[in-house]
Amino acid sequence: MAYEFTKEDLKEIEKIKAKFPEVMPATLPVLWVAQKRFGHVEPEVQKLVAKTLDLPEAHVHGVATFYTQYYKEEKGKFVLDVCTCLSCQLCGGYDILHYLEKKLGIKTGNTTEDGMFTLNQVECLGACGYAPMLQVTNDKYVNHLTPEKVDKLLDDLKEGKEPEYEKIGMPRRKNI
């Protein structure tokens, strides 16, 4: 497949480049533009980014492969990153991961046959106080997961509804 940016993408890339005195720092945000357009940044997409920015392919490849948020292969429409770091693990992160495997009929690291969901096990997403939790396609966090909450999330995503922002307050300290 031949990858090309749209005119709108190229305008956005020019705006990004204008923010920096040199082009190299634009690599990260331009990779986001590419991932948003193509759903991934596999090697051919990395080459397009390098060509568009007039940077060495090795530089773009190094950036894309360093960060786990950039998908190096095609993924489902929704990528479910389930945290299984210690806090989430102790609060049921693996239970939620295995529940999702069973519910979606796939193993971790795979994509459903309909291309709707990719399931990943990830390390800390920095929301330990809200465990167990997951992230939907590098964006919204879904916290304090239960099987019922997972079922609702999957149903909502299938219907095209994004998860709502979940405001979680900090516990109040009692005077001693």
Tens digit of each residue's pLDDT (9 = 90 or more) over 13-25: 999 999 999 999 9
Mean per-residue pLDDT of the chain: 93
What secondary structure letter does DSSP report for 3?
A: -
pLDDT digits (tens, 9 = 90+) for 137-164: 988 999 999 999 999 999 999 999 988 7
pLDDT digits (tens, 9 = 90+) for 66-114: 987 899 988 999 999 999 999 989 999 999 999 999 999 999 999 999 9
Find out whether the peptide bond into 132 is cis, omega within 30 degrees of 0.
Answer: yes
Domains annotated on the chain, with CATH:
7-66 (1.10.10), 78-158 (3.40.30.10)
The model's pTM is: 0.78
Q: What is the pLDDT of residue 176?
A: 64
Long-range contacts of 147-150 (CB under 8 A, 24+ apart): 147/96, 147/99, 150/96, 150/99, 150/100, 150/103
